[in-house]
Amino acid sequence: MAAAAYKAPAAGEGALLQAIDYDANGQILYRPELALWADVPGAQAVRFFPLSRRFRERVQIHVVEAGQARELIYRPDLFRLPDDSPLRRLKTGGFAGFRVMNGRSGSDWLAFLGASYFRASGPFDQYGASARGLSIDTGQPTPEEFPRFTAFWLERLPDAGVRAYALLDSPSVAGAYRIDNRQTPAGPVQEIQAELHFRRGVANLGLMPLTSMYWRGPTDGAEGPQAQVHDSDGLELWTGRGERIWRPLNDPPRPTLNSFLDQAPRGFGLIQRDRDAGDYQAAPLFYAKRPSVWVEPLTPLGKGAVRLLELPTARDSDDNIGAFWTPARAPEAGTSLALSYRLRWCDDAPPIAPLGRILATHVSPNGPAGRFNIAIDVQGPALEGLSDANAPEAKIDCSPGVVDRIVTTRGAGEGAWRIAFDLTAPLGHTVDLRAYLRRADQTLSETWLYQLQA
């Protein structure tokens, strides 16, 4: 495929697909008795998404059994449809994706739908952040390219898991994926192998990309109902040197792309740390149950950077956060790249004990414009037993700006401390902040990074 020119997918029946809006799509129900493997004891049934206004491009679906692959053919009677459903009038219908059902709750725990996007429900049976197979030119001034999974081959695994082989295609790249999907007590785990073949050079390649939503949180100084609205509240990094970093997310005033240079990182993820439902005051939306997503590379990555994209948003329905790995050496036309990694849809990232862990970040204006008060709550075994007499020292750097009135005080709970300081920032500038706790030469906490728009 990569040796041949890219062929765009055929256009669908535009007017009819346009009519399958959110409401019309909600009335289309897959018949559970016709799900793939519905009659196989111990298997996880698979249902399929129809085409709609948002998802217009067909994907081929195959099933692999006893080493043989056969295509599953679309039929309108796979779905329960209202008499006036536009889907009834489609002459060339098809599947847009698939989802794997959770036999215990009747919901789905895994879904592949749209471009190369997929997501899992996490340990709390709730969707939130998403992943995708590949991103190209994300966060660049040029239009983003969206590679798409054009075909799937589904196979049952002996341990009740589901294996999905996927074919990926775009103007720049053709690729093949093998994605093993399993449920565990700690949440779904995916082991992914990919092989990418480039039709042309890609200057801004995004490997193992994640997407999420962040609108409001304690860093915004919002109060009252829905003071916090987010699927993830921070980017967590585990660098190749072993440093653990926590970067709270922002809803910035303008698109922002940050690069965290590294070599052979041990992992990164978009994490939902705040699990207190009372902080969200939006019970039907279950923000406290949204899964964290942790990327664990299985192939050494070499030099590159984890990139964090933050886009302005005015609503909770937009995914405005992206995180991905970009290799230092951009792939050229005619080259190939092999990659393997693990995704964990979990409560939290791997533990960092005994280091103190950032619990919350609070930012509020303090007096004249450009003056801010910042408080960071930290807790961990390394901070237990310390008192005011031997309090940890807060090491803080900022650029540009001036930090003063630094205070560390004990917080609520064993091993809990608060770092508080004032920041004077030049108006109109972006201020990068870095902080951690130490005592003598011993590091006591993970590293806190933050970016403030003054």
Q: What does 321-355 look like in DSSP terms, one character per residue?
A: EEEEEEESSPPPTT-EEEEEEEEEEESSSSP-TTS
Classify residue 66 as left (phi > 0), alpha (psi -120 to 50) or beta: left
Identify which of 442, 424, 320 has the alpha carbon closest to the alpha carbon of residue 373.
424
DSSP state string for 49-108: EEP-SS--S-BEEEEEETTEEEEPPP-GGGEE--TT-GGGG-SS--EEEEEEE-TTTSSE
82 vs 88: CA distance, rounded Å: 9
Residue for token pair 């207190």:
276
pLDDT at 367: 84
For the chain, how many residues are written? 454
Helix or strand or coil: residue 400? coil
Identify which of 231, 301, 326, 311 has the alpha carbon closest to the alpha carbon of residue 270.
231
- Spell out the per-residue pLDDT of the chain, length 454, in tens: 999 999 998 877 888 999 999 999 999 999 999 999 999 988 899 999 999 999 999 999 999 999 999 999 999 999 999 999 999 988 888 999 999 998 756 789 999 999 999 999 999 999 999 999 999 999 999 999 999 999 999 999 998 899 999 999 999 999 999 999 999 999 999 999 999 999 999 999 999 999 999 999 888 766 666 789 999 999 999 999 999 999 999 999 999 999 999 999 999 999 999 999 888 876 688 999 999 999 999 999 999 999 999 999 999 999 999 999 999 999 999 999 999 999 999 999 999 999 999 999 999 998 888 999 999 999 999 999 999 889 999 999 999 999 999 999 999 889 999 999 999 999 999 999 999 999 999 999 999 999 998 8
Identify which of 192, 75, 205, 211 has the alpha carbon closest to the alpha carbon of residue 135.
205
Helix or strand or coil: residue 383? helix
Task: State both tokens at 444.
Answer: 């006591």
pLDDT at 229: 94
281 vs 290: CA distance, rounded Å: 14
- The distance of Cα 145 from the centroid of its chain, to the nearest Å, equals 18
pLDDT at 219: 82
The residues, any chain, with a CB within 8 Å of residue 184's CB and separated by 6 or more, are none
Task: State both tokens at 90.
Answer: 């489609």
- Which pairing describes strands 430-439 and 447-453: parallel, antiparallel, or unpaired? antiparallel
